Amino acid sequence: MESQKYKAKIAGTDTEAIGYIIEMREYLGKGAYGSGTDYHICITEKSMKGGPYGTYKVDQESIELYN
């Protein structure tokens, strides 16, 4: 099984990156989560050679499937 790659713009920049999308919600404690959702992209050497490796917050509207 292969993980699906996505292309997205790193929040606050003009940098487009290719990687794996992570959906994150604020944990309030005692099994409760906040209503807001952020999307992050995890960039690895496998997903984007020479890329800015790491995990970055992305603009949700810029997320596209990458083939």
d(CA 39, CA 14): 16
Please state the domain extents for the chain: 5-66
The pLDDT value recorded for residue 34 is 87
Residue-averaged pLDDT of the chain: 92
d(CA 24, CA 27): 9
Tell me the per-residue pLDDT of 34-64, one tens digit each, with 9 for 90 and over: 888 999 999 999 999 998 999 999 999 999 9
**CA-wise closest residue to 44 among 56, 57, 27:** 56
